[in-house]
Structure 1
Amino acid sequence: MSILYLVKKNDEFVSFCSCKESLVGDPGQLDCPWCGCGWLFSCTKCRKAFSFAVATEIDKTWEEIAVEDLYGYSKKQPTHEEISEWVEAMKAMQSDIELGKTYVYLDGVFIPADEENFSMEGWYAKHEFEYVPQVAALKNAEIEKLVLSNPEYWRNNRM
C-alpha cells in the first residue's frame, strides 16, 4: 500500500540533509521562525533542513513515518497517542498536495512552489508575496536575508 507524501526533491537553495530517502517531518516550528524552523522542511531521519519537497507515492504507512519522525526528534519510542496525533496533524497539512508537484514550507503551511500573488496567515505571521520566497531566492540570494531569515520581517508581520 502506498501513500502520497512529501519527499525531499533536490539540494537547491538550502539543503543540509543527505539521507537517501528524506521524508518531510512534522514542522517543529519554534517562536523564532527566522532561524529556519518557519521556512525549511526537516528530514524525519536526520532532522536536517532542506527547501524543496515533491509529492510522491511511497510504500510506507502514516504510522511508520510518524514513528520515524517522532523517534528522530526525541530518540525514544513514541506512544500510541503521540503517533495518532502526529498522523492526524500531518494528514491535515498534506491533504491538498498533488502528485508530482513541488512544495515549500512557510509558517505552518505547505505551499506549491509555483504559487504566485498570494497572502496567508501562518502560525506566526501574516505573509503577502508575489512569488514563493524560496523560489525567488534561487535567483536573488538576498531574499533569504531580507525575508526568510530576517527577524525584523517576521516581527513586523506578526499577528
Structure 2
Amino acid sequence: MSIIYLVKKNDDLISHCTCGESLVGDPGQLDCPWCGCGWLFSCTKCRKAFTFATGVELEKSWEDIAREDLYGYSKKEPSEKELKEWVDFMKGMMGHVEVGRDYIYLDGYFIPADEGPFEVEGWHSEHDFNEPPQITAQHSPEIIERVLSNPEYWNERKI
C-alpha cells in the first residue's frame, strides 16, 4: 500500500536535518511561531527543522509514519488513540498534496511552493503574501528576520 506524503526536498534556506529519509512530522506548532515552529517543517526522526518538502508516493502506512513521528517526539511508544488522532490529523493536512509538487509550511498549512498571491488565516495569525515567504527568502533573505522570525509580524496579525 502506498500513500502520498511530504519528504524533505533539499537543504536550501534552512535545513538542520541530516537524516537519510526526512519525512514531515506533525507541525506541533507552539504559540511562538516565529521560532520556526510556524514556518519550518520538522523531521519525524530527528525533529530538526527544514524549509522545503516535496510530495512523493511512499510504500509505508500512515500508522508506521505516525509511530515514528510520535516516538521521535516523546521517546515512548504511542497509544492506539494517539496513533489514530495523528493519522486523522495528518491525512487532513496531506489531503491536497500532489506527487512531484514542492511545499512550504506556514502557520498550520502545507502550501505549494509555486503558489502565487495568497491569503490565509493560520493557527496563530492572518497572512497575505505575493508568494510563499520562504520562496521570497531565497533571493531576499531579510524576509526571514523581518517577517518569518519576527514576533512583531506575527503578533500584529494575531487572530
Smaller-chain TM-score bracket:
over 0.9
Q: Determine if the alignment matches structure 1 residue 31 to structure 2 residue 42.
A: no
Q: Distance in 1 between matches of 2:46 and 2:118?
A: 32
Counterpart for residue 57 of structure 1: 57
For 2:152, the equivalent position in structure 1 comes to 152
- In the alignment, the residues of structure 2 paired with residue 96 and residue 43 of structure 1 have an alpha-carbon distance, to the nearest angstrom, of 20
CA RMSD after TM alignment: 0.4
| Partner of residue 121, structure 2 | 121
Runs of 4+ aligned structure 1 residues displaced above 4 Å come to none
TM-score, normalised to structure 2's length? 0.99
Any idea what the Cα deviations from partners look like across 1:110-156, whole Å, max 9, x if unmatched? 00001111100000000000110000000011010011000000000
Task: Give the secondary structure class of the aligned counterpart of 2:57.
Answer: strand
- Partner letter of residue 120 of structure 2? M
Report the AA paired with residue 12 of structure 1.
D
Unaligned runs of at least 5 residues, structure 1:
none
Q: Residue type of the partner of 2:26?
A: D
Deviation at 1:89, TM superposition (A): 0.2
Residues matched between the structures, number = 159
Structure 1 residue 2 displacement after superposition: 1.1
User: What is the one-letter code of the residue matched to 1:117?
Assistant: P
Alpha-carbon distance in structure 2 between the residues aligned to 1:49 and 1:3? 23
**Identity percentage of aligned residues:** 63
Which residues of 2 match residues 10-159 of structure 1 at below 5 A?
A: 10-159=10-159
In structure 2, runs of 5+ residues without a counterpart are none
CA distance in 1, matches of 2:117, 2:56: 26
Q: Helix, strand or coil: the match of 2:130?
A: strand
For 1:141 and 1:36, the matched residues in 2 are separated by 15
